[in-house]
Amino acid sequence: MTELATMTNDLDRLTERIEKAAALLQTQRADQARLQVERDRLNERIQELERKLQGQDPGVMIAELQSLRREQKDWQTERREVAERIDALVKKLERIDG
C-alpha cells in the first residue's frame, strides 16, 4: 500500500506540474500572439513614416527650417516697426486734438 500511496502522490504532483506548465505555455503563446500583432502594427507605422519622409534630405529640411526662422524674425521686426509707427501717429493725432 505504501508504494501505491507514494506512486499516487507522485502522479498527483506530476499532474499538477504538467497543468501548471500547460497554463504557462498558453499564457506565453497568448503573449507571443499579442506581441506579433503589436510588432506588425509598429512595422506598418515605420513603413508609413518612411514613405512620408522618402526623398526628404535632413540637411535640406534643416536649411528650410533655418530659413523659416529667419523669415519669422524678419516678420517680427517688421511688425514691431509698424507698431512703433502707429504709436507715433497716434501720439501726433493726440497732440493735434489736444
At 24-74, the pLDDT tens digits run 999 999 999 999 999 999 999 999 988 887 878 888 888 999 999 999 999
| Phi, then psi, of 54 in degrees rounded to 5 | -60, 130
20 pLDDT higher than 80: yes
pLDDT band with cut points at 50, 70 and 90 for residue 84: very high
- Distances 13 to 3, 20, 24, 27, 38 between C-alpha atoms, Å: 15, 11, 16, 21, 37
Whole-structure pTM over 0.75, yes or no?
Answer: no
- Distances 43 to 47, 48, 53 between C-alpha atoms, Å: 6, 9, 15
